[in-house]
């Protein structure tokens, strides 16, 4: 798992910037468009984002949310919203602090836009809380 973080996840996020990789969720209007929309790094971006989500909501909530999702969706078609709803339901019943955000809102910024957001964490020492904000990452790259 550590190799994935140090090598793969970092490489995937850099490719996302350098190669102008599409978002994970794309609208397809014609079947012949499908093949042209996928790159190797599109497939790598999904596990990187899922791993980050797992660490945000804890292993236990993630695992129980996946169990709920698989049980609920086992004989039907599913969307990403179905996954977020299952994870959110388990998260809401857990003791993990999360009253400020909804998983769908957080995850849509990662899967429905290209590149990736930058998350800023600002501690509020007086109240022992943190403030999370995010913005779209824009790379200003200069060649040497």
Angle at 31 between CA 25 and CA 36, to 5 degrees: 60
Give tens-digit pLDDT for 108-130. Answer: 887 877 666 677 888 888 888 88
What pLDDT does residue 142 have? 46
Identify the pLDDT of residue 70. Answer: 98
Q: What is the pLDDT of residue 91?
A: 96
Asked whether 26 and 113 are in contact (CB, 8 A), the reply is no
- Rounded Cα distance between 65 and 47, Å, is 16
pLDDT band at 141 (very low <50, low <70, confident <90, very high): low
How many other CB atoms sit within 10 Å of the CB of residue 43? 11
- pTM for the whole thing? 0.68
- Round to whole Å and give the CA distance between 96 and 62: 11
Of 138, 141, 140, 122, nearest to 130 (Cα)? 122
Give CATH for domain 1-114.
1.10.390.10
Task: Give the residue ranges of DSSP H helices in 20-140.
Answer: 40-57, 59-73, 80-93, 103-111
Q: Residue ranges of the domains in the chain?
A: 1-114
Asked if residue 87 has pLDDT above 60, the reply is: yes
For residue 93, name the pLDDT band (cuts at 50, 70, 90): very high
126-to-4, 40, 97 alpha-carbon distances in Å? 37, 46, 18
């Amino acid at each position: 798992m550590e190799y994935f973080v140090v090598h793969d996840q970092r490489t995937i996020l850099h490719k996302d910037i350098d190669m102008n990789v599409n978002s994970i969720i794309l609208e397809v209007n014609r079947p012949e468009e499908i093949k042209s929309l996928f790159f190797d790094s599109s497939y790598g971006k999904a596990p990187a984002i899922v791993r980050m989500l797992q660490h945000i909501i804890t292993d236990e909530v993630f695992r129980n949310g996946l169990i709920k999702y698989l049980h609920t969706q086992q004989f039907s078609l599913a969307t990403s919203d179905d996954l977020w709803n299952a994870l959110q339901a388990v998260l809401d019943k857990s003791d993990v602090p999360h009253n400020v955000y909804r998983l769908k809102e957080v995850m849509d910024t990662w899967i429905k836009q290209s590149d990736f957001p930058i998350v800023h964490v600002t501690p509020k020492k007086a109240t022992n809380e943190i403030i999370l904000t995010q913005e779209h990452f824009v790379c200003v790259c200069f060649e040497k």
